[in-house]
């Protein structure tokens, strides 16, 4: 009897032990499961926070005030010579392309470099930015001779060029294209983002922030390309190679207003074009090149009355 009693007690103890083990295992599982849920909850929270920040990025563009961006102090140094080209000559392949070219560009001035195709406009642009070097003459930026400086050093000193058929990375958005340039000059990501939003909002281009370059209109593409060039922190002179080319009249009007805004910020701009009538109303000064030499220069009103300009460039049928 006593043996049977002990046996039953052992069985009971074993049963209790197995129940306890089961309870402990279940409790452990529940704790682990709860931990997993908590981890998942935290990950979800992080994801939602990131999503919220991404959404804020889009809405931020709409609510940031259009802060005025001063590249220089307009009006203060209006007569300051930013760029001086003195008696520049250049031959390519033994053929003279430019002959004794001289002109000055003031701060906050828009200069039109005009002439028919093959006149030497693109060669002069290439000389200014440092793609090629002059045979004779001097080029000064802020009174410093830059003749022999390579293109990247001239860029660091404040010369930017927007070529006619070049611009943005097609599969990148406006935001990404601007970021790619600004990160060369600014380390702080928040400062880069602030600068992008300032640029876009100032020019009313917030809506393009998440639009890929390939999906932009011709005018929008030109504007964002230009903004990309003025991301240069030392920007002083912006060269625009035929910015109105292949644009409809409405886009041309919009681009001209855009360029005038750049001038109001104190930027000096040189525009090359073969169509005087497309840009004459925004120019402060004009230079017309013919066969590698300056044929006539002056304000647009003077150009329109010049007999040589009418005969060789504007056309004999031109009337004021």
Distance CA 33, CA 310 (A): 86
Decide if pLDDT at 65 tops 60: no
Decide which of 229 and 28 is more confident.
229
CATH code assigned at 274: 3.40.50.300
Clarify whether residues 58 and 93 are in a common domain: no
Is the four-CA dihedral 25, 26, 27, 29 of positive or negative sign? Answer: positive
Clarify whether residues 88 and 54 are in a common domain: no
Clarify whether residues 1 and 118 are in a common domain: no
Q: Are 296 and 121 in contact (CB under 8 A)?
A: no
Distance CA 189, CA 224 (A): 20
Is 76 among the domain residues?
Answer: no
Tens digits of per-residue pLDDT, 161-197?
Answer: 999 877 899 999 999 999 999 999 899 999 999 999 9
Is 320 among the domain residues?
Answer: no
Is 98 among the domain residues?
Answer: yes
The domain boundary residue, chosen from 34, 63, 92: 63
Q: Which residues contact 151 (CB under 8 A, 6 or more apart)?
A: 129, 130, 131
Q: Are 230 and 261 in contact (CB under 8 A)?
A: no
Q: Which of these ranges, 56-70, 79-93, 197-211, 269-283, has the smallest mean pLDDT? A: 56-70
Q: Three-state secondary structure along 171-187? A: CCEHHHHHHHHHCCCCC
Clarify whether residues 37 and 168 are in a common domain: no
The pair phi, psi for residue 48, each rounded to 5°, is -65, -35
What is the share, in percent, of the chain residues with pLDDT greater than 90? 66
Instruction: Give the model's confidence band at 43: pLDDT under 50 very low, under 70 low, under 90 confident, else very high.
Output: very low
Q: Are 252 and 271 in contact (CB under 8 A)?
A: no
Decide if pLDDT at 246 tops 60: yes
Clarify whether residues 41 and 103 are in a common domain: no
- pLDDT of 317: 63
Residue 44's domain comprises 1-63
pTM, rounded to two decimals: 0.76
Distance CA 316, CA 33 (A): 88
Tens digits of per-residue pLDDT, 293-310?
Answer: 999 999 999 999 999 999
Q: Are 82 and 255 in contact (CB under 8 A)?
A: no
Instruction: Give the model's confidence band at 77: pLDDT under 50 very low, under 70 low, under 90 confident, else very high.
Output: low
Clarify whether residues 55 and 165 are in a common domain: no
Q: Which of these ranges, 36-45, 199-208, 308-317, has the smallest mean pLDDT? A: 36-45
Q: How many domains are contained in the chain?
A: 2
**Residue that is written with structure tokens 């089961």 in the block:** 22
Average pLDDT of every residue of the chain: 82
Is 255 among the domain residues?
Answer: yes
Beta bridge partners of 297: 287
Clarify whether residues 111 and 222 are in a common domain: yes
Instruction: Give the model's confidence band at 143: pLDDT under 50 very low, under 70 low, under 90 confident, else very high.
Output: very high
Is 319 among the domain residues?
Answer: no
Distance CA 161, CA 240 (A): 6
Clarify whether residues 282 and 206 are in a common domain: yes
- pLDDT of 132: 96
Clarify whether residues 31 and 90 are in a common domain: no
Clarify whether residues 100 and 237 are in a common domain: yes
b/e map of 30-48 (b: 16 or more CB within 10 Å)?
eeeeeeeeeeeeeeeeeee
- pLDDT of 44: 42
Clarify whether residues 31 and 134 are in a common domain: no
Decide if pLDDT at 67 tops 90: no
């Amino acid at each position: 009897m006593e043996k049977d009693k002990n046996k039953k007690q052992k069985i009971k103890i074993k049963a209790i032990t197995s129940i306890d083990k089961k309870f402990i295992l279940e409790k452990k599982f529940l704790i682990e499961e709860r931990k997993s849920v908590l981890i998942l909850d935290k990950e979800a929270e992080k994801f939602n926070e990131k999503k919220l920040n991404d959404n804020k990025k889009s809405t931020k563009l709409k609510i940031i005030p259009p802060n005025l961006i001063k590249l220089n102090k307009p009006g203060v140094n209006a007569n300051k010579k930013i760029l001086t080209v003195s008696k520049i000559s250049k031959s390519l392949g033994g053929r003279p392309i430019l002959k004794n070219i001289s002109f000055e560009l003031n701060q906050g001035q828009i200069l039109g470099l005009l002439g028919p195709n093959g006149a030497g406009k693109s060669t002069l642009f290439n000389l200014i930015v440092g793609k090629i070097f002059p045979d004779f003459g001097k080029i000064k930026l802020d009174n410093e001779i830059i003749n022999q400086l390579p293109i990247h050093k001239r860029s660091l000193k404040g010369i930017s060029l927007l070529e006619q058929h070049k611009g943005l990375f097609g599969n990148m958005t406006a935001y990404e294209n601007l970021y790619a340039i600004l990160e060369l000059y600014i380390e702080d990501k928040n400062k880069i983002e602030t600068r992008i939003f300032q640029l876009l909002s100032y020019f009313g281009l917030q809506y393009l922030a998440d639009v890929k370059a390939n999906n932009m209109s011709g005018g929008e593409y030109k504007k964002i390309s230009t903004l990309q060039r003025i991301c240069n922190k030392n920007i002083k002179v912006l060269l625009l190679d035929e910015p109105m080319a292949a644009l409809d009249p409405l886009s041309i009007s919009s681009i001209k207003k855009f360029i005038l805004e750049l001038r109001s910020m104190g930027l000096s701009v040189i525009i090359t074009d073969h169509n005087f009538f497309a840009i004459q109303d925004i120019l402060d000064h004009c230079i017309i090149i013919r066969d590698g030499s300056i044929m006539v220069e002056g304000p647009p009103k003077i150009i329109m009355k010049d007999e040589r300009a009418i005969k060789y460039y504007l056309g004999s049928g031109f009337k004021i």
